[in-house]
């Protein structure tokens, strides 16, 4: 009987123009979201590649000038000299800027890239808020985050229409549109009593109806996901196909569990024996609460209980430390040396060098407490969200999708820690040469430290994502009613008995007519 009802439901859904239009809109939303997400990732990658090319060209230009200077001193038979701190290329015959380790370490910046993975287009996450790169030099490490746009109000208010948005906000609406009247529609149409005369279990009937609708949604999700994966997942910058494929499997798992939750909720509401209009109202309120209100409240509570210091405080601390470090310098000499660094005499060059290093060190010391407080507050916010994520399936799935797509705030925090470690490594390379006034040669340019982002093992992602999804699946099973009947309690048995009596009376009446 299940297969008969299942096929019948599929046929009815296929004949329904509103249903066909609904699935067409869902597919169109997935297609547009995939295209829009891929466009956002491509813009992100192009911007990063542009900066990489610019810095590579700058480094090559400095190297060419240094090689030209080395050729000049070799021809003239004179020793190489270190170039004074300057901001413009030296004229021919003068020491090239590339000979000064301090100038090279400050001006020839390296690009530390946070690469997107194969599913970044599925959930843009913070890609529109964070840059995909950091410029690393000898300056304070806190200058690295100057141009991050995590508090950009325009980006925060608009977001990106990506596949994650379709899954979190639109997919439940489409599911509820086909489940709000599973039984109430049959009852209002007068067909439920006819179905009951066939001795069909309500559990079988409901299961067949749900499976027919769920199978179409699953087909749409699988089809859209595979098309989006084929279109946008290229294993970009250090990620292979295996990593992207495993992430796709996790993505499918998260979306399917989320979909099953809304199906279970639709079945549960149908058990209230309300009208179709009442069911639609209840499910609409549930969607509004679980998808909009609860996530907003959790975010407000997190930011209210643990407000993070503004980035303006970081800038104020930097400026205050810089001013304090300069307070001990002669004002006239300081201004002159800043405006004419190339004219610093040899007897004052060591003082100038040490004062520059001291200012950077003082800035780091002064800003470190503010930065640590900023990070601690942000970690507390994230822990609070992780704790209360189970209050809404939308939060659980959003965190999972961002994590799977590699666009979560936690991944960016890990990236920043690697950037700061690399900044210290690069500083340790240039600073001793700068203080000791060691002349750099063209051979040293190939020895510069390079940043390599260390991706976490996929097993860590699987462990981190599957546990919340498992709890969501358990809650889905708890929501789905174990006993399905059209009347309360065990009265459904009486209904079957009444149906048998009606059938018996009808049969007896037919026999009487034949005898007459």
Which pLDDT does position 233 carry in this prediction?
61
Q: How big is the chain, counted in residues?
A: 516
pLDDT tens per residue, range 31-46: 999 999 888 888 888 8
Taking only the tens place, the pLDDT of each residue in 420-474 is 999 999 989 998 888 888 899 999 999 999 999 998 888 899 999 999 999 999 9
Average pLDDT over residues 189-195: 73
Beta bridge partner(s), residue 135? 111
Q: Which pLDDT belongs to residue 86?
A: 62
Q: Tens digits of per-residue pLDDT, 93-122?
A: 788 888 888 888 888 899 999 988 888 889
* Range 133-136 contact pairs with CB under 8 angstroms and sequence separation of 24 or more: 133/48, 133/51, 133/52, 134/416, 134/419, 135/51, 135/55, 135/109, 135/110, 135/111, 136/109, 136/110, 136/111, 136/112, 136/419, 136/422, 136/423, 136/426, 136/451
Question: Higher-confidence residue: 286 or 116?
Answer: 286
Which pLDDT value is given to residue 491? 38
pLDDT of residue 373: 81
Per-residue CA distances from 514 to 141, 395, 509, 510, 511 (Å): 99, 67, 9, 6, 5
The confidence score (pLDDT) of residue 182 equals 86
Give me the mean pLDDT over the 490-511 stretch. 44
In the prediction, which pLDDT does 318 show? 64
Q: What is the mean pLDDT of the chain?
A: 81
Please tell me the predicted confidence (pLDDT) of residue 282. 96
Report whether pLDDT(513) > 60. Answer: no
Domain regions of the chain by residue span: 2-479
């Amino acid at each position: 009987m299940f297969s008969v009802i299942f096929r019948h439901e599929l046929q009815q859904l296929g004949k329904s123009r509103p249903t066909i239009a609904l699935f067409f809109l869902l597919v169109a939303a997935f297609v547009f979201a995939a295209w829009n997400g891929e466009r956002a990732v491509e813009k992100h990658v192009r911007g990063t590649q542009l900066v990489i090319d610019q810095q590579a060209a700058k480094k090559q230009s400095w190297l060419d000038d240094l090689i030209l200077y080395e050729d000049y001193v070799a021809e003239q038979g004179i020793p190489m000299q270190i170039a004074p701190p300057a901001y413009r290329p030296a004229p021919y015959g003068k020491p090239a800027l590339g000979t000064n380790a301090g100038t090279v370490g400050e001006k020839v910046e390296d690009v530390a890239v946070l690469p997107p993975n194969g599913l970044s287009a599925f959930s843009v996450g913070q890609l529109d808020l964070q840059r995909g790169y950091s410029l690393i030099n000898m300056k304070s490490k806190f200058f690295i985050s100057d141009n991050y746009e995590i508090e950009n109000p325009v980006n925060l208010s608009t977001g990106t229409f990506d596949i994650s948005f379709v899954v979190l906000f639109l997919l439940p609406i489409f599911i509820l549109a086909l489940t709000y009247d599973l039984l109430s529609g049959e009852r209002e149409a007068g067909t439920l009593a006819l179905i009951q005369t066939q001795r069909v279990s309500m559990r079988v009937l409901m299961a067949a109806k749900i499976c027919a609708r769920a199978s179409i949604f699953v087909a749409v999700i699988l089809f859209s996901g595979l098309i989006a994966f084929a279109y946008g997942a290229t294993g970009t910058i250090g990620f292979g196909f295996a990593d992207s494929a495993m992430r796709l499997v996790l993505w499918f798992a998260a979306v399917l569990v989320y979909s099953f939750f809304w199906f279970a909720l639709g079945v549960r509401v149908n058990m209230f024996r309300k009208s179709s209009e009442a069911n639609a109202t209840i499910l609409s309120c549930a969607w509004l609460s679980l998808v909009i209100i609860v996530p907003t409240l959790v975010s407000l509570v997190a930011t209210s209980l643990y407000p993070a210091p503004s980035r303006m405080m970081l800038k104020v601390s930097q400026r205050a430390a810089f001013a304090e470090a300069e307070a001990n310098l002669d004002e006239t000499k300081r201004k002159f040396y800043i405006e004419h660094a190339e004219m610093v005499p040899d007897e004052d060059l060591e003082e100038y060098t040490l004062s520059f290093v001291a200012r950077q060190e003082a800035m780091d010391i002064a800003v470190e407490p503010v930065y640590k407080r900023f990070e601690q507050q942000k970690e507390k916010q994230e822990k609070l969200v992780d704790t209360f994520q189970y209050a809404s399936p939308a939060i659980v799935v959003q965190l999972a999708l961002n994590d799977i797509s590699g666009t979560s705030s936690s991944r960016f925090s890990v990236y920043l820690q690697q950037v700061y470690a690399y900044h210290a490594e690069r500083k340790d390379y240039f600073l001793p040469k700068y203080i000791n006034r060691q002349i750099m040669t063209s051979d040293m340019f190939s020895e510069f430290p390079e940043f390599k982002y260390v991706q976490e093992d996929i097993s860590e992602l699987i462990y981190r994502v599957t546990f919340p999804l498992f709890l969501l699946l358990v809650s889905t099973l708890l929501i789905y009613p174990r006993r399905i009947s059209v009347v309360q309690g065990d009265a459904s048995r009486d209904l079957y008995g009444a149906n048998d009596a009606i059938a018996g009376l009808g049969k007896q009446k037919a026999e009487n007519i034949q005898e007459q």
